C-alpha cells in the first residue's frame, strides 16, 4: 500500500460521535454562536423591513404562527369566561323571569320602531331617487365574543374570538348596542384584533347630528374620551351634541352614533378649539361585539319589480 494515502476511514466522522455519545459535549457542533447571532439578526431585520414596507406580505406567516399560540389566548381567557358562565348559571329563577319580561318588552318596542324604520327607508330611497342620488343600504353583522387579554398596556386593542374563518377582514367596523367601538385591525384565522376608537393611533370621520358639521374624532388614549382637534373656535358645536359616523373614508357605515360632546373650550392663542367627547359605546364593559359587513353595492334607484318598463331617463341613471 502506498504510504501517502489519506487515512479518512480510520477516524470516525465527528457527527457520529455527537449522535451516539452520552456525555456532555465539550465543543459545540454546528456554526459558532457569533454566526448564529448574525443569522438571527439578519432574519429579524429582514422580517421587520418586509412587514413595514410590504404591509400584507407576511400575513400568511403571522396566521400560521397564531395557530400555535391560539390555545394560550383561550387559556388566559378561561378564568373570566368561567366567572361569567357561573354567574349566568347561578342566577335565580325570579331574576331570569324578570330579565325575560324586560327583554320581551324591549323586543316589542324595538320591533314597532323597526316597522316605522322600514317605511322611512323606503321613503328615503324614493326621495333619493328624486334627487338622483345613490343610496347605500343594509349591513350584515356577526356577533363576536371578547377574549379578556391585554396585548400591550398602552394600546387600546381588543381580541375577539372570530377570525378569517368567519370571513372577518381588516378595516371592518365593529359596533356594540350603543355605538361604534372600533375597527378590525388585524384578522387572524381564529381570532382578530380590534382597535378601539379611543386608541391614540385611531381617527374616525364624524359629523354633528344636529347640523351636519363634518370633522374627525381622534383617540386620546383614555377609555372614555375622544378629541376633536380640527374645529375652529367659532364652530357650531355645543356640549351634548351627538356625533355620528359621516361615512366618509368608506370604513364606517354612515349614521351610527360615536360620541357625545362634553366640553368645548376656546383657546385664545390657538387657531383650533379644544373639544372632548365621550364615546357612546360601552368600551370597557361589553363582552359581545358586532362585526359589520356593509353592502358596498348601492341600491338601484328604481326597483325592477316596481318599474318593469323603465322610462328612458331611468335607464340613463343606471348607466351613470
Partner 1 sequence: MTNTYGFGRILISIGVAMCLRIAPLPFHLDIYNPDWVLMVLIYWSIGFPERVGIFHAWSFGLLTDVLTGRLLGQYALAYSLVIYICLKLHKRLRHFPLLQQELFIFACLLLSQLLLFLIKNLQHPAQLHGDFWWPVLSGTLCWPFVYLTLRFVRLSKPVN
> Which residues are at the interface with partner 1 (CB under 8 A)?
22, 24-25, 28, 33, 36-37, 39-41, 43-48, 51-52, 58, 61-62, 65-66, 68-69, 72-73, 75-76, 80, 148-154, 157, 185-186, 193, 200-201
* Residue bearing cell 359605546: 281
* Residue bearing cell 421587520: 48
Q: Do the beta carbons of residue 157 and residue 236 sit within 8 Å?
A: no
Question: Terminal CA-to-CA distance of the chain, rounded, Å?
Answer: 94
**Ramachandran region of residue 207, left (φ > 0), alpha (ψ -120 to 50) or beta?**
beta
User: Closer to partner 1 at the Cβ: 64 or 239?
Assistant: 64
CB of 19 to partner 1, least distance (A): 9
User: Closer to partner 1 at the Cβ: 48 or 115?
Assistant: 48
User: Closer to partner 1 at the Cβ: 46 or 141?
Assistant: 46
CA distance 296 to 171: 14
CB of 164 to partner 1, least distance (A): 14
CB of 25 to partner 1, least distance (A): 7
User: Closer to partner 1 at the Cβ: 58 or 290?
Assistant: 58
**How many helices (H) does the chain have, and how many strands (E)?**
5, 12
Q: Do the beta carbons of residue 207 and residue 244 sit within 8 Å?
A: yes
CA distance 12 to 8: 8
Among 180, 140, 196, 186, CA closest to 163: 186
CB of 28 to partner 1, least distance (A): 7
User: Closer to partner 1 at the Cβ: 61 or 96?
Assistant: 61
* Residue bearing cell 454546528: 30
CB of 153 to partner 1, least distance (A): 4
Q: Phi, psi at residue 94, to the nearest 5°?
A: -65, -40
User: Closer to partner 1 at the Cβ: 69 or 120?
Assistant: 69
Residues 6 or more apart from 293 whose CB is under 8 A from it? 139, 140, 141, 142, 167, 172
CB of 267 to partner 1, least distance (A): 22
CB of 293 to partner 1, least distance (A): 23
User: Closer to partner 1 at the Cβ: 37 or 307?
Assistant: 37
CB of 221 to partner 1, least distance (A): 9
CA distance 50 to 200: 25
CB of 186 to partner 1, least distance (A): 7
User: Closer to partner 1 at the Cβ: 137 or 149?
Assistant: 149
CA distance 62 to 26: 38
Among 189, 136, 193, 168, CA closest to 291: 168
What cell was used for 240? Answer: 351634548
User: Closer to partner 1 at the Cβ: 72 or 143?
Assistant: 72
CA distance 216 to 248: 10
Amino acid at each position: 500500500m502506498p504510504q501517502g494515502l489519506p487515512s479518512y476511514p480510520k477516524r470516525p466522522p465527528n457527527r457520529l460521535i455527537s449522535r451516539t455519545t452520552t456525555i456532555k459535549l465539550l465543543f459545540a457542533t454546528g456554526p459558532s454562536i457569533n454566526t448564529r447571532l448574525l443569522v438571527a439578526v439578519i432574519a429579524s431585520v429582514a422580517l421587520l423591513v418586509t412587514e413595514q414596507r410590504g404591509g400584507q406580505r407576511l400575513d400568511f406567516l403571522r396566521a400560521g404562527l397564531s395557530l400555535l399560540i391560539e390555545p394560550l389566548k383561550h387559556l388566559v381567557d378561561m378564568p373570566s369566561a368561567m366567572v361569567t358562565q357561573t354567574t349566568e348559571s347561578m342566577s335565580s329563577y325570579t331574576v331570569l323571569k324578570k330579565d325575560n319580561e324586560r327583554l320581551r318588552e324591549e323586543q316589542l318596542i324595538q320591533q314597532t320602531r323597526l316597522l316605522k324604520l322600514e317605511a322611512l327607508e323606503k321613503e328615503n330611497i324614493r326621495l333619493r331617487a328624486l334627487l338622483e342620488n345613490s343610496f347605500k343600504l343594509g349591513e350584515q353583522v356577526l356577533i363576536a365574543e371578547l377574549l379578556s387579554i391585554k396585548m400591550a398596556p398602552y394600546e387600546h386593542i381588543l381580541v375577539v374570538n372570530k377570525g378569517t374563518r368567519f370571513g372577518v377582514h381588516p378595516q371592518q367596523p365593529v359596533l356594540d348596542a350603543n355605538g361604534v367601538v372600533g375597527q378590525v385591525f388585524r384578522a387572524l384565522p381564529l381570532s382578530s384584533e380590534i382597535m378601539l376608537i379611543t386608541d391614540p393611533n385611531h381617527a374616525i370621520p364624524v359629523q354633528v347630528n344636529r347640523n351636519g358639521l363634518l370633522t374627525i374624532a381622534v383617540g386620546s388614549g383614555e377609555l372614555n374620551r375622544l378629541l376633536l382637534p380640527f374645529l375652529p373656535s367659532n364652530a357650531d358645536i355645543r356640549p351634548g351634541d351627538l356625533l355620528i359616523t359621516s361615512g366618509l373614508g368608506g370604513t364606517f357605515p354612515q349614521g351610527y352614533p360615536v360620541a357625545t360632546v362634553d366640553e368645548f373650550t376656546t383657546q385664545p392663542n390657538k387657531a383650533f378649539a379644544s373639544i372632548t367627547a365621550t364615546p357612546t359605546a360601552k368600551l370597557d364593559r361589553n363582552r359581545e361585539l358586532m362585526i359589520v359587513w356593509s353592502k358596498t353595492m348601492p341600491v338601484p334607484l328604481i326597483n325592477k319589480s316596481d318599474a318593469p318598463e323603465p322610462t328612458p331617463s331611468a335607464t340613463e341613471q343606471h348607466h351613470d
